[in-house]
Amino acid sequence: MEEVKIERIKQELREAGIVSRTLISMESKNLAKILYDDEHIGGAVHGAYSGGLAWLIATNKRIIFMDKKPLFNTIDEISYDIVSGTKTTKTSLSGTVSLHTRMGDYTINFVKNISAKKFTEYIEEVRLGRPEFEKVHIINDSTVNIDNECLKFLREHNLGVLSTISREGSINGATVYYLIDKDNSLYVLTKSETEKGRNILSNEQVGFTVYDEEKLQTAQIRGDAGVETDREIINYVHEQLSKPRKYNSIIKHPPVTKLHEGMFIVIRISPSQIKFHDFNNELSL
């Protein structure tokens, strides 16, 4: 069964414009371990980038950036939902392919022109065939004023429930850690192929709830969410929200670090409405 899959991958690489028999033979076995049984290659390019030699492989499910070295593999899974386009430049013998995403660009140099053409055409075919490809609107400035008591409450806590809406209109709730910045935007770390990640890419309206059981205080937030693209912010949020935490006297990494679906993305939530209640004071009146 494995041999059948390897032969199928070899054929798909050839159809994608990869002409080196040695390259096809070497990578088909490795790809057989990575690709799902129902996953098929529609485009592939191989060449040089800043870290050495690498692949960009477009399948019917995702795009894979792969840098295979003797002692380790670097593999990034890129969802089509965060792809904003491709760009190619070519000379008489080879060219450059750049894949533009909301998480940054992937650029491969010295790519064979035939494989570059097929790769970019396949990416566009997939994107045009998926109605959810719309630009995510990211609000850079806070659109709502937050009173000092509510702001103090949000900064004292770091765990809330993020509510998102699917394309079908169903609501999904997920408990997540968050950060709040000086502009009162909230940041959440997740992965692109989680339910909340997919929902936000198709519907930017979200709800966020923070509750303190002991103090009987709650903040209910409505706003717009989008994928953060500022690399400095992404690095900081990832560092802060993936740090080990204390759970019942045991130090563990937070649950988000154990997710396997897709690649890490940082979600920015810009509040449009906040309701803050201190039920302890209200009940005592």
CA angle (190, 191, 195) in 5-degree steps:
90
Q: Which of 77, 99, 128 is the last residue of a domain?
A: 128
Distance CA 201, CA 198 (A): 5
Q: Are 209 and 219 in contact (CB under 8 A)?
A: yes
Distance CA 123, CA 66 (A): 17
Q: What mean pLDDT, rounded, does the chain reach?
A: 83
Give pLDDT, residue 142: 41
Q: Residue 152 contacts by C-beta under 8 Å, 6 or more apart in sequence?
A: none
Q: Scan for tokens 């790519």, then name that residue.
A: 111
DSSP 242: T
How large is the average pLDDT for residues 235-248? Answer: 83
Same domain, 57 and 112: yes
Kindly tell me if the per-residue pLDDT of 140 is higher than 50. Answer: no
Q: How far apart are the first and last CA of the chain?
A: 72
Q: Which domain holds residue 219?
A: 148-284
Give pLDDT, residue 285: 41
Nearest one of 196, 219, 214, 216 to 206, comparing CA atoms: 196
Q: How far is CA 229 from CA 28, 64, 103, 176, 272, in A?
A: 33, 20, 6, 20, 21
Give 193's pLDDT tier (boundaries 50, 70, 90): confident
In a domain, 78, yes or no: yes
CATH of the domain at 258: 2.30.110.10
Kindly tell me if the per-residue pLDDT of 103 is higher than 60. Answer: yes
Same domain, 175 and 87: no
In a domain, 135, yes or no: no
In a domain, 209, yes or no: yes
Strands 186-191 and 264-278: antiparallel
Same domain, 153 and 92: no
The structural domain count of the chain equals 2
Give pLDDT, residue 151: 84
How large is the average pLDDT for residues 39-56? Answer: 93
How large is the average pLDDT for residues 189-218? Answer: 89
Same domain, 160 and 99: no
Q: Which two tokens stand for residue 54?
A: 């690498």
Q: Which of 93, 128, 163 is the last residue of a domain?
A: 128
Query: Which of 100-109, 163-172, 250-259 shows the highest mean pLDDT?
Result: 163-172
Same domain, 116 and 228: no
